[in-house]
Each structure stands twice: as structure tokens, then as C-alpha cells.
Amino acid sequence: MIHTALVKGPIDPADVLARVGAPEDGAQVLFLGTVRNHAEGGRVEGITYEAYEAMAEEVLTQIAREAAERIGTDRVAVVHRVGELAVGEHSVAIAVSSPHRAQAFEASRYVIEEIKKRLPVWKREQYADGTAGWVAGMEPDEGSRRAAPEGARTPPVERSRARGGERTAETRR
Amino acid sequence: MSVQALFFAAYRDLLGTRSLSVELPEGATVADLVATLRGRGSPFDSLPAQPAVAVNRAYALLSEPLRPGDEVAFIPPVAGG
């Protein structure tokens, strides 16, 4: 079963791994993305992840489905965290299981690379000297910018946010 | 018609707002929205002329026509993972 989620609290890798696995699977791969203590900007004390949440949830599911299709399994689990993370905390966990190891490695690699290319998530690093900065990211590639076919577009979601140019509150915790 | 423009991360910091309601002529495209906003002058003119955008939560081309009530998100270079 494919499982994806955007979460605000700590990721438990064992929970994500437990989402995959089947009697016919001889391989399970778990990838963890972790906040490191250094970057080009200097020593990093933490990272705040921000997401366009409604879209990120959809894109995460699309990516997991694509990965599963590539290797012919449905055992793919992806959990991405948002909010403030300290050094050493996990920002993303990807678990894949398949009959043989090659497919599980391939699918988990596909998921993390696609996340880097097109998941609408941004990170702001807090440096030890008190400054902070948005990490220079990747332009979503042309392949993901296809215009949707006429009639296939999803309607706008109901919004509770203030309209008319008012500043709206951050939903981040 | 009115569309909702959303700004995230560095774009939100640049503009000081997370969302704006923008009036556009019927038949306007994403490119028209970008040009309208950039035409407002500082700080809007610091938005890229060809930003990545999503219409109703799906990546879209600048040539995509808009409809009333569409949600158009300006997507800065992404940095997930």
C-alpha cells in the first residue's frame, strides 16, 4: 500500500518502515534525510521547513505512485516533515520494499530525487551567528510544468484565508 | 475576474504578504498575472519575469489561461528533502 504524509511532529523511521513489506519482498530500503550542522552559509543550528501544504501532499502522493509504477510494487511510504527542526532530526523518510534489492534502491532514489526537483517545500537555515537564510533550491523542471488537459483541472479548494491582500497568519507551528 | 495569488518562502518575505486577490480581464493567462503584479513596481518588480507557478495546486505553464477563483501559487526554487 502506498502511504504518504506531511507531518509537523518528529518522524519515527520504524513507523514508516512498518508501512511497507510483504511476504514476497526480499528487500526493504529505508532512506532518511537528516538536518546537518553545516552548509555553505556556515554552521547550521536548525532548519525551518515551509510547504505549500495542500499541493505538497498531492505531489508527494504522485511521486510515490510513480516510484511504485517504475518497479511494479505498491509498497512505498514517504513522510516529509515541516516546521522547525534541530540538527540531527529527520526531515524525510522513504521506505520501499520489493522482491529484489535493485528495485527497492531504485524506487527510493527516485522518490528523493523527485522531491528535490518538484516538491513545493522550502527551507530556511538558522546559522550559529544569528543570521538565517532561504536555501537556494531547484527550479521545478519543465516536465512537471505541463499544462493540465482541458477539463482535467481540479477546481479551486474552498479557502478560509482572508482575501483582498490582507496579511494572513502563518500556519506553521 | 478575480484570482488568488499565493506567495511562499522567499517570495512571501519579498512582498510581505502571503496572498493577494488580483483583478484580471477575462481570458487572462498566468503570464498576464505575472506582468500585472510586476507592473505594480517595487517590491513586485523583483519577482522573476518567468517564475514557476502552480494553478490550483498543479504546476502550470505561463501560457495557461486562468478562470475566476483560480489559485495561482508563485513557487520559488524548491528545497525539500
Query: pLDDT tens digits, chain A, 173 residues: what are they?
Result: 999 999 999 999 999 999 999 999 999 999 999 999 999 878 999 999 999 999 999 999 999 999 999 999 999 999 999 999 999 999 999 999 999 999 999 999 999 999 999 999 999 999 999 999 999 999 986 556 554 444 444 444 433 333 332 223 333 32
CA dihedral B67, B71, B76, B81 (to 10 degrees): -130
CB < 8 Å to B58, chain A: 55, 58, 148, 153-154
- The ipTM, to two decimals, is 0.96
* Residue A170: per-residue pLDDT: 32
How far is B74 from A10, CA to CA, in rounded Å? 28
Contact B6 A52 (CB under 8 A): yes
CB < 8 Å to B57, chain A: 52, 54-55, 58, 154, 157
Find the closest chain A residue to B4 by CA distance: A163
**Cis peptide leading into B51, omega within 30 of 0?**
no
How far is A151 from A154, CA to CA, in rounded Å? 8
How far is A106 from A97, CA to CA, in rounded Å? 11
Q: Indicate which of A90, A122, A146 best probes the interface with B, i.e. most B CBs within 10 Å of its own CB.
A: A122
Contact B9 A145 (CB under 8 A): no
Query: pLDDT tens digits, chain B, 81 residues: what are they?
Result: 999 999 999 999 999 999 999 999 999 999 999 999 999 999 999 999 999 999 999 999 999 999 999 999 999 999 999
- Cell representation of residue B59: 504546476
The residues near B20 (Cβ < 8 Å, ≥ 6 apart) are: A165, B4, B5, B7, B37
Pairing between β-strand B71-75 and β-strand B2-7 as defined by DSSP bridges: parallel
| Number of residues that this document lists for chain B | 81
> What percentage of residues in chain A have a pLDDT greater than 90?
78
Centre a 10 Å sphere on the Cβ of residue B62 and count the other Cβ atoms it contains.
18
Consecutive H or E run containing A121 = strand A121-127
Helices A53-71 & A101-118 angle (0-180, nearest 10): 150
Nearest to A163 among B4, B10, B64 (CB): B4
